[in-house]
Amino acid sequence: MAENTALDTIEVHPITFPPDVLARISPELSLQRHLSLGIRPCLRKYEEFREVTIENNTLSRYVDTENVNAKNNILGSNVLKSGKTIVITSITGGIIEENSASIKDLDDFGEEELYEITKEENVVANYASIYPVVEVERGRVGACTDEEMTISQKLYDSVLHSRILPKQALKVKAGVRSVNEDGTLSVLYPDELENDPSNETNLKMKRKWSYVLYAKIIVLSRTGPVFDLCWNSLMYALQNVKLPRAFIDERASDLRMTIRTRGRSATIRETYEILCDQTKSLPLMINSQNIAFASNYGVIDLDPESQLQDPDNAEEEVDIDMDEARSVLIADLDTEAEETSIHSTISVIANAKGNYTQLTLVGAGAKITPNMIKRSLLLSKVRANDLSTRLNT
């Protein structure tokens, strides 16, 4: 019986995918194909940033200074749009009582002199930060993700070490509400009496308070890394913050009573609330010269094997020299393909004058060269100069 030696023929047909489908199936291959053409999946150049538009203080209670919305507790806000991503930042606040006075607050000359002699070397101790909560909307509910907690903590640390918010700017200069002879109420504030030599009223309190600021940052339609967008939106919002004036009632400014029970004596201080003025406010005095803006970059090696061939010479073999693979710097990472495929990143916080607050390097992929670091610093300075002018437009 003769064996059947005929072989079945198999036809192989190439499968092509549209760019958007290929980006979901193989993001890295899609990115490499675009980079081989000199563009990115978002159709921007290597060092091109997304266009940024901002809306300042549109959500604050002090939008209309003549008609303050008492039900609105937002002290400063910003809406930033970069590409398809929208970041909404709203800053609220509270008032806390300082339990222990620092040496700098003491009136005794000897203690003040001692403070000057033993002055703390850590200047950061004189600055405060803001407590941010970042929420990246992804159509889900539940506890915050690790990424959101990491970004929130990084924002807190960056604001503190940037020395933007002095603790002195958060001191509450509490006024005293008193009853006039005609029965009307009036509030006197310490700074309003400083230039009045005829007024002998002493409004210095033994108890001290400070403002504390909170920031809620909501990210919508995320398409890439969001730390730099959250930081920039927070910087815009901080420059618009107004703090409400606070006061206490004069009968509770320094009221104590002594009681005696079974031979023991004790002093009870009356508890009272510090109230906020519904109409008066003061701008937050930040160190505007330390305001800086963030930008991010990525470094990736171009894969020669992923380069597109010339359609006229598609049948010819192409010699690929792996030693010719080179790295490129990508500014303002966007799209899922860039975020998941680029592992070596550079993050810079700088101002328009070329002062750099923070530089973060993550080398988990392509090699980051000194020339790429220099280039990213230069681009960050230009970017900061552009973003700093947006507040006045």
Among 274, 279, 272, 281, CA closest to 247: 274
Q: How confident is the model at residue 122, as a pLDDT?
A: 63
How far is CA 261 from each of CA 5, 95, 266, 271, rounded to the nearest angstrom?
A: 115, 35, 8, 21
Residue spans of the chain under pLDDT 50: 1, 101, 103, 106, 109, 117, 120-121, 198-202, 254-255, 257, 259, 314-320, 322
Q: How confident is the model at residue 322, as a pLDDT?
A: 47
How many other CB atoms are found less than 10 A from the CB of residue 270? 11
What's phi and psi for 309, nearest 5 deg? -85, 160
Q: How confident is the model at residue 200, as a pLDDT?
A: 43
Contact by Cβ (8 Å): 91, 74: yes
How far is CA 12 from each of CA 6, 15, 29, 315, rounded to the nearest angstrom?
A: 19, 9, 22, 16
Alpha helices in the chain, H assignment, sequence order: 19-25, 27-36, 109-117, 146-161, 190-193, 227-238, 335-341, 370-388
pLDDT digits (tens, 9 = 90+) for 284-339: 999 999 999 999 999 999 988 777 655 555 444 444 454 556 899 999 999 888 99
Q: How confident is the model at residue 63, as a pLDDT?
A: 83
Strand-strand pairing, 165-166 and 175-179: unpaired
Please state, in angstroms and rounded to a whole number, the distance separating the CA atoms of residues 56 and 164. Answer: 19
Alpha helices in 202-284, H assignment, sequence order: 227-238
Q: How confident is the model at residue 253, as a pLDDT?
A: 52
Which amino acid belongs to residue 321?
D
Task: Please give the domain boundaries of the chain with CATH numbers for all domains.
Answer: 52-290 (3.30.230.70), 291-311+323-392 (3.30.230.70)
Q: How confident is the model at residue 285, as a pLDDT?
A: 93
How many other CB atoms are found less than 10 A from the CB of residue 307? 14
